[in-house]
Structures are given as C-alpha cells and as structure tokens.
C-alpha cells in the first residue's frame, strides 16, 4: 500500500469535518444540561479543539498534552458561547467529552463493519 500524501486541502477538510462533528456533539451536551438552546452557539465550541487535535496529531505532540489543551479550550469556548457559571461549564464539558467519545465509537464501529462487507 503506498504512503498517503498529506495536502493542505486534506488537512483543511479534516479540520472542518472534525469541527462540525464537535459542534454537533457540543449542541447535544448543551441541550442535555441547559435544555432548549440556540444550535448556532455550538458552532463556536467545535473549531478550536478540532484545530488543536489536528495540529497536535500532525506534529506528533503527546496525546496527554493535546487532549488536555483541547479539553481546556472546549471549556473556555462553552463559557464564552453559553455564558454559564464555571460549575455548569464543567458539567457541559464532561458531557461533551462523553457524547463525543460515544458517538465516535459508534461511527467507528459502523465504518469498521462496512469495511468488512463482501464486495
């Protein structure tokens, strides 16, 4: 199998896709904690953690550092976007992490199952 080429376009598409995914899961977390909220606010939450994750992966930054910085930025963006007290922001951030992991595992499992289907 040939080595994959990383292009600026592939990095951009990956970052934007991951930012949208994180924004959707942020909206789920915010709805879980706050009830009915404006979905546009979640669009502010996803991009910074996505950029940190893509850049951290691209430059081989240790996962502990990348995850910690992304998690902290997630909380900062929840605080800025939803204007809630620190305790509520902490709950939203933890729920966002849990929802993101759960949805990611489910989507990864579906992708794995689809990749093993007969041709």
**Domain spans of the chain, in order of start:** 8-115
Structure tokens of 53? 């994750």
Q: What is the pLDDT of residues 82-91, one digit of tens each?
A: 999 999 999 9
pLDDT in tens, 2-33: 667 888 899 999 999 999 999 999 999 999 99
pTM above 0.85, yes or no: yes
What do you get for the CA distance between the two ends of the chain, in Å? 19
Mean pLDDT of 89-103: 96
Q: Is 59 helix (H, G, I), strand (E, B) or coil?
A: coil
């Amino acid at each position: 199998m040939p080595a994959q080429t990383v292009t600026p376009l592939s990095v951009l598409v990956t970052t934007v896709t991951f930012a949208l995914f994180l924004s959707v899961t942020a909206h789920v977390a915010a709805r879980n904690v706050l009830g009915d909220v404006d979905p546009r606010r979640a669009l502010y939450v996803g991009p910074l953690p996505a950029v940190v994750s893509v850049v951290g992966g691209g430059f081989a930054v240790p996962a502990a550092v990348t995850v910690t910085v992304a998690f902290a930025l997630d909380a900062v963006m929840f605080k800025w976007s939803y204007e809630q007290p620190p305790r509520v922001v902490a709950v939203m951030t933890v729920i966002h992490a849990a929802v993101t992991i759960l949805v990611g595992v489910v989507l990864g499992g579906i992708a794995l199952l689809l990749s093993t289907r007969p041709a």
